[in-house]
């Protein structure tokens, strides 16, 4: 059985305790991950703190060069990292390879983003600049759905802006990130990037640690609130990218056969385990049944199974707790009298497998509509009025993303602009880029990631006011 190590101060570090990592396709422990103690965390934070002054003062071009070298090593290790990712997360091998390759590409793109000093005023007697300075040690806490890619969303911006990092992956999927720490530790100066793994207790230690200046967290809303509360004791900067219950609105003038494919893909990517996936589908009553039929056709063409199996499109739900939640929401919808077009029952085979599930004739107020399932199940809700459906889409505590689908681009754009969400799309959904800001409003988070706006989240602003002569 494979045993992994922490990466602290450029060294691989074993721990007194370990915990098992479960393969969601088999429900069996296949590897042991290090369970970091408080002393291990203190060592990682001290290493990051000690490394910070020299890393902050390293020329930007040199930092960019080292991030590029990290991306090169990720690509060199793509087969190994992808295999680990399939086993611990459950996604298909093709999707794991896409995540690992995308991680390298995202890292290079992030390294190239500019965050220049702004000249606010200049005259013969005075020059005023707005500078962006590194904060210090960043605590990065990442989720289990895209463990490597979402780690880079934090590590890349933190490092390129001159911060040092203590990175904690989810205890459900720690191995790919631990392996990442192992392969890049010889590229960066000792202490610049430290990777520690453990349970929820470790996350609390990180958020309350007095020598960490910022927390960047991606995960559930309830945990995000705990992070915010804990970080408040030392007034840490925080970025929170939390859950979503994204609506997609399909107007009457949309063509079902044309929109069904992209809608289906954005609802069920990674088995629906995507923060910004389509999770509520509002369809105009005039085309409701037609679009339902088209979605059923798409479902019949897709296969759920073990990630290494040829021809499989979607893997299992990643963990037992999430699997049970999806099952519970399906039963709740059934009790509400909803019509299941496909799926709805977990498979009898071993593993956390739940079929692609489409649920029609369901209303706002149902748990499946109002709550975030984070799994392969999609409620499809009728509507008849554009203004009414926008109000219904906004009647939620979530505010991550949303989309409008229509042949009338102008009308769809106007409707999308009224969605209460951090991102809104027209005739597409969850179209992201390293150069575009992404974040939520309401209980979907605060702050943004990516682009110069995301880099700025890892800095403090300083007004430098110079009197000349």
Q: CA-CA distance, 328 to 320, in Å (whole number)?
A: 12
Place of tokens 């190239």: 112
- Classify strands 28-35 and 17-23 as parallel, antiparallel or unpaired: antiparallel
Q: Which residues contact 290 (CB under 8 A, 6 or more apart)?
A: 256
Contact 374, 325 (CB under 8 A): yes
CA distance 89 to 183: 20
SS3 132: strand
Rounded Cα gap, residues 73 and 110, in angstroms: 16
Q: Where are the alpha helices (DSSP H) in 270-394?
A: 288-300, 320-335, 367-370, 386-394
Q: Work out the number of other CB atoms within 10 angstroms of the CB of residue 2.
A: 12
Q: What SS3 class is residue 126?
A: strand
CB 44 within 8 A of CB 136: no
**DSSP bridge pairs for 340:** 359
Is residue 275 part of the annotated active site? The answer reads yes
Active-site choice (77, 241, 294, 443): 241
For residue 407, the 8-state DSSP code is S
Closest CA to 203 of 141, 136, 158: 141
Q: Minimal CA–CA distance to 406: which of 390, 392, 423?
A: 390
For residue 292, indicate whether it is catalytic.
no
Length of the chain: 469
* C-alpha 163: how far from chain center: 21
Q: 275, 372, 449, 457: which one is catalytic?
A: 275
Exposure on the CB side of residue 261, measured as CA atoms within 13 A: 3
Q: Which residues are catalytic?
A: 241, 275
């Amino acid at each position: 059985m494979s045993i992994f190590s922490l990466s602290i101060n450029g060294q691989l570090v074993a721990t007194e305790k370990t915990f098992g990592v479960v393969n969601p396709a088999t429900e069996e422990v296949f590897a042991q991950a290090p369970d970091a103690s408080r002393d291990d965390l203190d060592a990682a934070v001290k290493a990051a703190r000690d490394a910070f002054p020299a890393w902050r003062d390293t020329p930007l071009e040199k930092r960019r060069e080292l991030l590029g070298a990290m991306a090169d090593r990720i690509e060199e290790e793509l087969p190994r990292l992808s295999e680990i990712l399939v086993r611990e997360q459950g996604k298909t091998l093709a999707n794991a390879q896409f995540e690992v390759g995308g991680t390298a590409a995202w890292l290079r793109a992030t390294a190239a983003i500019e965050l220049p000093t702004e000249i606010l005023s200049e005259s013969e007697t005075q020059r005023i600049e707005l500078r962006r300075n590194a904060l210090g040690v960043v605590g990065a806490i990442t989720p289990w759905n895209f463990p490597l890619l979402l780690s880079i969303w934090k590590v890349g911006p933190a490092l390129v802006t001159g911060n040092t990092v203590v990175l904690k992956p989810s205890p459900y999927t720690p191995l790919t990130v631990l392996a990442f720490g192992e392969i890049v530790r010889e590229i960066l100066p000792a202490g610049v990037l430290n990777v520690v793994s453990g349970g929820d207790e470790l996350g609390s230690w990180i958020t309350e640690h007095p020598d960490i200046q910022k927390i960047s967290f991606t995960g559930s809303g309830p945990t995000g609130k705990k992070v915010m509360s804990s970080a408040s004791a030392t007034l840490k900067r925080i970025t929170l990218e939390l859950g979503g219950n994204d609506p997609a609105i399909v107007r009457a003038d949309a063509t079902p056969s044309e929109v069904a494919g992209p809608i289906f893909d954005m609802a069920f990517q990674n088995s629906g385990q995507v923060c910004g996936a389509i999770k509520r589908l509002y369809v105009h009553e005039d085309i409701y049944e037609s679009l339902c039929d088209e979605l059923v056709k798409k479902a019949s063409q897709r296969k759920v199974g073990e990630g290494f199996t040829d021809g499989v499109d979607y893997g299992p739900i990643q963990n037992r707790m999430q699997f049970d939640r999806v099952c519970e929401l399906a039963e709740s919808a059934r009790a509400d009298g909803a019509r299941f077009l496909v799926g709805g029952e977990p498979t009898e085979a071993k593993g956390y497998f739940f079929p692609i599930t489409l649920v029609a004739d369901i209303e706002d107020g149902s748990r499946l509509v109002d709550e975030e399932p984070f799994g392969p199940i999609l409620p499809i809700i009728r509507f008849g009025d554009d203004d009414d459906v926008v109000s219904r889409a906004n009647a939620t505590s979530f505010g991550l993303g949303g989309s409008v689908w229509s042949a009338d681009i102008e009308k769809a754009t106007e409707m999308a602009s009224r969605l209460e969400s951090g991102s809104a799309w027209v005739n597409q959904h969850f179209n992201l880029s390293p150069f575009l800001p992404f974040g939520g409003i309401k209980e979907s988070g605060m702050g943004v990631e990516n682009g110069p706006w995301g880099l700025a989240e890892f800095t403090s602003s300083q007004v430098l006011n110079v009197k000349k002569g």
